[in-house]
Amino acid sequence: MQILAIDQGTTSSRAIVFDGAFRVVASAQQEFAQHYPASGWVEHDPADLWQTTLATCRTALEQAGPVAAIGITNQRETLLIWDRETGEPIHRAIVWQDRRTADICTRLRDEGHEGMITGRTGLLLDPYFSATKAGWMLDNVPGARARAEAGKLALGTVDSFLIWQMTGGKAHVTDATNAARTMLYNIRTGEWDTDLCRLFDIPMALLPEVRDCNAHFGETDPALFGKAIPILGVAGDQHAAVIGQACFQPGMMKSTYGTGCFALMNTGDQMVSSHNRLLTTVAYQLDGKTTYALEGSIFIAGAVVQWLRDGLGIIEAAPDTQALADRADPAQQLIVVPAFTGLGAPYWRPECRGAVFGLTRNSGPAELARAALESVGFQTRDLWSAMQDDWAKSGAKAHTGTLRVDGGMSASDFAMQFLSDILGAPVDRPKVLETTAMGAAWLAGSKAGIYPDAARFAEGWALERRFDPVMDSNTRTTRYTAWKRAVAATIAAAG
């Protein structure tokens, strides 16, 4: 038996079919356009999200044949609102990277609301999350608020929108991990929060039903794939990666390098409050039991390589970055702070923009490429240090001391070796890098009775390569101190 995993990401949609032994038997991928209507604004055309998902699913199914179920994983926080009658979105999707609601967040923070928001959602008051995007859309699309209050609209993250489309509008649902990223969901009670909806002026009738990650979310319209296929697993991309990396034990950590970088530490049934402006979130929810995590979010990781390719034109393809970085002058210590859409954890400064430090007349493409790759390691060190501190203060035992990595950039030996060096800790890269899609597949496959339980699934996790630190401690301290100075200067420049 086979499982279809849909991985709807920030820059592309993918469909991967796994067999009963978790082997990839078919896959398809399509990129789609990013829209930047103003500085700091990022949007997607909802038709692109749906059509690329549909096309890649059909291609993968043509290659692989019938599947027993579908699992979905998706970019989180990206927000859509659509008409319940027609299914037509009222506006482009506002992407998680979008910063247009920074002023709204500042106002709410100044009014003293952040403590209540964090206490109930585990999140910080930031444009990154969905609630202020929803409010902006309702207030700026003509007639939207009146239609919402009349019950004519539906609101959801990308998973909800795809499920609505796939089921022909029969299911308006989401899972606990995606709900937890909206800033409208109380992760303590496991329900949409009436006070938060009132604060952000979001009619609760717009919201989807929240289910476990391994649940029945509906069946696809038979016209789409030739027969109805049950959707049995849903999780936001970073939560699916936690599952795919088999980080089922408290203290285990993973970091995924896609457009952004997202590090999560499993904290079990304990909601660990951060002293370092990290997030407390739902890691996953299985069979009614919620497991929590600490999370640090970096907005720009793989996107810095896209900047080298599309913005500067110094590489033709992402894999070229490593060879270019290898040629960099070791005497030059350029630092790129890739705050193109603000700084994420642990700084949370949406007003910041990117900066480069240490330029000389001899600085060129090779030095920029190396600094771009190293910026991801430096940012991960920020998260690693904050998580270690929060975990220790919670009274828990020391975490595993090893970081499991996945995502496109984890294929770069240069980037992963620098990551190990700057952390001063082992970095483990699994044999299967498609951990996000695998996590979604496991959710659906285990629900369908095809895949093993979590413990047996974890036994199958396999190491491809371990990167051990070779940088001496003095150099590590010097390099990281320089990074911290560069970040401080970037924040100061933003005013």
pLDDT at 396: 67
> Mind listing the pLDDT tens digit for each residue in 175-186?
999 999 999 999
pLDDT at 433: 80
Taking the C-alpha atoms of residue 365 and residue 362, their distance in angstroms, rounded to an integer, is: 10
* Mean pLDDT lowest among 59-73, 131-145, 347-361: 347-361
Paired tokens of 267: 């904290």
Largest CA distance in the chain: 64
Is the per-residue pLDDT at 255 higher than 60? yes
pLDDT band at residue 301 under the 50/70/90 scheme: confident
Tell me the average pLDDT across 210-239: 96
Q: Smallest Cα–Cα separation from 190: which of 135, 124, 269, 254?
A: 269
Q: What are phi and psi of 296, to 5 degrees?
A: -120, 130
SS3 of residue 447 by DSSP:
helix
pLDDT at 371: 93
Tell me the average pLDDT across 210-220: 97
Residue 131, number of CB atoms within 10 A of its CB: 29
Tell me the average pLDDT across 282-306: 91
Is the per-residue pLDDT at 272 higher than 60? yes
pLDDT at 397: 64
Is the per-residue pLDDT at 341 higher than 90? no
How much is the mean pLDDT over the chain? 92
Taking the C-alpha atoms of residue 133 and residue 130, their distance in angstroms, rounded to an integer, is: 5
pLDDT band at residue 78 under the 50/70/90 scheme: very high
Taking the C-alpha atoms of residue 214 and residue 35, their distance in angstroms, rounded to an integer, is: 33
The CATH classification number of 246-430+462-495 equals: 3.30.420.40
Residue 313, number of CB atoms within 10 A of its CB: 9
For 3-237, CATH number out of 1.10.230.10, 3.30.420.40, 3.30.750.24, 3.40.50.720 equals: 3.30.420.40
Residue 365, number of CB atoms within 10 A of its CB: 18
Q: CB within 8 A of 229, min separation 6: which ones?
A: 4, 67, 68, 69, 70, 219, 220
Is the per-residue pLDDT at 464 higher than 90? yes
Which of 244-258, 338-352, 466-480 ranks highest by mean pLDDT?
A: 466-480
Residue with tokens 């000389």: 360
* Mean pLDDT lowest among 216-225, 258-267, 393-402, 445-454: 393-402
Q: Which residue has the higher pLDDT, 351 or 29?
A: 29
Q: Where in the chain is the domain with CATH 3.30.420.40?
A: 3-237, 246-430+462-495
CB 236 within 8 A of CB 156: no
> Mind listing the pLDDT tens digit for each residue in 345-357?
899 887 889 999 9
pLDDT at 400: 59
Q: What are phi and psi of 228, to 5 degrees?
A: -75, 130
pLDDT at 319: 81
* Mean pLDDT lowest among 326-330, 425-429, 489-493: 326-330
Taking the C-alpha atoms of residue 417 and residue 400, their distance in angstroms, rounded to an integer, is: 19
What proportion of the chain, given as a percentage, has pLDDT over 90?
A: 73
pLDDT at 344: 85
> Mind listing the pLDDT tens digit for each residue in 85-133?
999 999 999 999 898 998 999 999 999 999 999 999 999 898 989 999 9
pLDDT at 313: 87
Q: Which residue has the higher pLDDT, 486 or 395?
A: 486
pLDDT at 302: 82
Paired tokens of 329: 């002058």
pLDDT at 398: 57
Is the per-residue pLDDT at 18 higher than 60? yes
